């Protein structure tokens, strides 16, 4: 019994040592995505583009200044009859004619026009819509960021879980090959029937196939992780010695703003967080705000515009005409109020008003549907996170039972009550249970992160807390 216990201890120590070969954390993997992923770079660029709408909203109410200048060939004809003329020394003359003509003269002009909007409901609507679009861009970024965080966690969990199953398959195949060799040696000495040797050979061959399948799954997971993060995949193995006891259930409440609450928060708290922080709901709310601004744009009073307008300019024309050389110089300086109101638009404004009302109803309905869907998602992920806690505890108990069974089977095999195939089966069950515990940890981690994402609270602090919580999937490296 002491020998068998030593063998089991050596197996567990070797597995734990292999796990330390390639440590990685979820936070490190996410940093790799931030530094490497083109999807993250695109999300950042879209957020920056959307943020520019805030400057556009502000600029709508700032004064504008436009400059104009031009050169042209210009013909000019002026004729005035029946005028009265008076000048010092010439007296006053009635029924006077004035005629001026320039044919193909040189004309150059310039002007500066400044305008300050005072009241313009369409500008109000434009500014409100622009600010809503800026907030929508921020919500879209948060949604894209949280989706990438989940993909990062899923990718790392796939590497860990597939690596754990690969190491279990390797250990099983190695044990089966040793059992096959031992059976063959005993068969050669006549101490064992040929059936047990052939069964051991068949078991070793079957486990070799299983190892190949596990290698393929692990290679695919590693490639996906490297492609997403730009980092080399960590070296992984089954965590045989890091399982918590069956009585220590998960207690982390990721995304709740507390590092270690005693129990999972009630679903009502998560629903409240979702209403306040869900980027999906924020996007729909801003979409409705844009629709509301469009309705105000086409209201009956929204056609009124009042602006303060100032203009200075100069226009010069010179050349020859029908009455000899002629020229004209004009200087202009004006300041005043400009009022505009649409009188008839052919029904365009009423049609636009009808379309805006319909768009607002659609946006309101979309928001209501999104609230229902987010609520359902929060409830389903909350249930999954709670079940993950129970599943981890069940897997921990199953692992402890499998290790006890392995110890008993080894003793029975040494005493002749159990066959070599029985021992191989017990070893395989113990290794698979250890890999299953790793998988339960990874599934629990993903369940809690999905719950945080559904409520809109998934962020970098949440990822850092996940590296050291009860569902410490990355601790199985």
List pLDDT tens digits, range 436-449.
888 888 888 899 99
Tell me the Ramachandran region of residue 15: left when phi exceeds 0, alpha when psi lies from -120 to 50, beta otherwise. alpha
Which domains does the chain show, CATH number per domain? 2-60+123-299+348-476 (1.20.1600.10), 69-115+303-340 (no CATH)
Helix (H) and strand (E) counts in the chain: 10, 4
Report the pLDDT value the prediction gives residue 362, as an integer from 0 to 100.
94
Q: Please give the structure tokens belonging to residue 472.
A: 């410490």
Burial of 39 (0-12, 13-18, 19+ CB in 10 A): middle
CA distances from 61 to 56, 57, 118 (A): 9, 8, 8
Report the pLDDT value the prediction gives residue 236, as an integer from 0 to 100.
57
Report the pLDDT value the prediction gives residue 85, as an integer from 0 to 100.
78
Q: How far apart are CA 454 and CA 446, in angstroms?
A: 12
Burial of 62 (0-12, 13-18, 19+ CB in 10 A): exposed
Asked if residues 378 and 451 have their Cβ atoms less than 8 Å apart, the reply is: yes
Running DSSP on this structure, what letter comes out for residue 265?
A: P
| Cβ count near 411 (within 10 Å) | 15
Report the pLDDT value the prediction gives residue 241, as an integer from 0 to 100.
40
Question: Residue 143: which of 465, 457, 461 has the closest Cα?
Answer: 457
Report the pLDDT value the prediction gives residue 103, as an integer from 0 to 100.
83
Report the pLDDT value the prediction gives residue 257, as an integer from 0 to 100.
35
pLDDT tens digit at each of 477 positions of the chain: 334 343 433 333 333 333 333 446 888 899 999 999 999 999 999 999 988 888 888 888 889 899 999 998 888 788 888 787 787 877 788 888 778 888 878 889 999 999 999 888 888 888 888 999 999 999 999 999 999 999 999 999 899 888 888 888 888 888 888 878 877 777 778 776 777 777 778 878 888 888 888 888 888 988 999 999 988 888 755 444 433 333 333 333 433 333 333 347 889 999 999 999 999 999 999 999 999 988 888 875 557 888 999 999 999 888 887 777 888 888 989 999 988 888 777 788 888 888 889 999 999 999 999 999 999 999 999 998 888 888 888 888 888 988 888 888 888 877 878 877 788 888 888 888 888 888 888 888 899 999 999 999 999 998 888 777 678 776 655
Q: How far apart are CA 156 and CA 227, in angstroms?
A: 12
Q: Express each pLDDT in 294-336 by its tens digit.
A: 888 887 555 788 899 999 999 988 888 777 788 888 898 999 9
Report the pLDDT value the prediction gives residue 123, as an integer from 0 to 100.
85
Report the pLDDT value the prediction gives residue 467, as an integer from 0 to 100.
72
Report the pLDDT value the prediction gives residue 302, as an integer from 0 to 100.
59
Q: How far apart are CA 389 and CA 252, in angstroms?
A: 10
Q: How far separated are the first and last CA of the chain, in Å rounded?
A: 31
Taking the whole predicted model, whether its pTM rises above 0.85 is answered as: no
Report the pLDDT value the prediction gives residue 291, as an integer from 0 to 100.
92
């Amino acid at each position: 019994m002491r020998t068998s216990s030593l063998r089991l201890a050596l197996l567990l120590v070797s597995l734990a040592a292999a796990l330390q070969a390639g440590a990685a954390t979820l936070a490190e993997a996410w940093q790799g995505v931030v530094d490497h992923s083109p999807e993250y770079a695109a999300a950042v660029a879209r957020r920056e583009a959307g943020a520019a709408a805030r400057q556009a909203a502000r600029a709508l109410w700032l004064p504008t200044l436009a400059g104009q200048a031009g050169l042209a060939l210009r013909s000019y004809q002026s004729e005035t009859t029946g005028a009265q003329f008076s000048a010092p020394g010439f007296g006053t003359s009635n029924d006077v004619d004035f005629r001026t003509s320039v044919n193909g003269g040189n004309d150059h002009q310039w002007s500066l026009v400044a305008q300050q909007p005072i009241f313009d409901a369409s500008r109000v609507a434009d500014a409100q819509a622009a600010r809503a679009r800026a907030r929508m861009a921020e919500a879209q970024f948060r949604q894209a960021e949280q989706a990438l965080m989940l993909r990062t966690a899923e990718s790392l969990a796939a590497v860990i879980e597939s690596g754990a199953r690969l190491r279990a398959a390797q250990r099983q195949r190695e044990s089966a090959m040793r059992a096959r060799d031992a059976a063959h040696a005993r068969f050669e000495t006549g101490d064992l029937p040929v059936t047990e040797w052939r069964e051991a050979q068949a078991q070793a061959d079957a486990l070799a196939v299983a190892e190949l399948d596990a290698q393929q799954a692990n290679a695919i997971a590693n490639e996906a992780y490297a492609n997403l993060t730009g980092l080399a995949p960590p070296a992984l193995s089954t965590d045989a010695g890091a399982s918590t006891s069956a009585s220590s259930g998960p207690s982390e409440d990721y995304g709740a703003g507390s590092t270690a609450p005693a129990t999972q928060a009630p679903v009502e708290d998560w629903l409240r967080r979702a209403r306040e922080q869900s980027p999906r709901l924020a996007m729909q709310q801003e979409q409705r705000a844009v629709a509301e601004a469009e309705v105000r744009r086409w209201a009956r009073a929204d056609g009124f515009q009042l602006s303060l307008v100032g203009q200075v300019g100069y226009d010069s024309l010179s050349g020859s005409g029908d009455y000899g050389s002629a020229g004209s110089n004009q200087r202009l300086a004006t300041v005043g109020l400009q009022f505009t109101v649409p009188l008839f638009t052919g029904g365009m404004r009423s049609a636009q008003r009808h379309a805006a009302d319909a768009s607002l109803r659609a946006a309101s309905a979309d928001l209501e549907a999104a609230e229902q869907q987010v609520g359902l998602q929060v409830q389903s992920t909350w249930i999954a996170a709670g079940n993950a806690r129970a599943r981890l505890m069940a897997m921990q108990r199953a692992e402890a039972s499998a290790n006890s069974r392995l110890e008993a089977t080894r003793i029975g095999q040494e005493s002749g009550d159990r066959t070599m195939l029985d021992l191989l089966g017990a070893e395989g069950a113990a290794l698979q249970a250890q890999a299953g515990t790793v998988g339960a940890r990874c599934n629990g981690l993903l369940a809690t992160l999905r719950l945080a994402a559904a409520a809109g609270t998934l962020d970098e602090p949440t990822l850092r807390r996940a590296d050291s919580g009860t569902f410490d999937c990355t601790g199985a490296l």
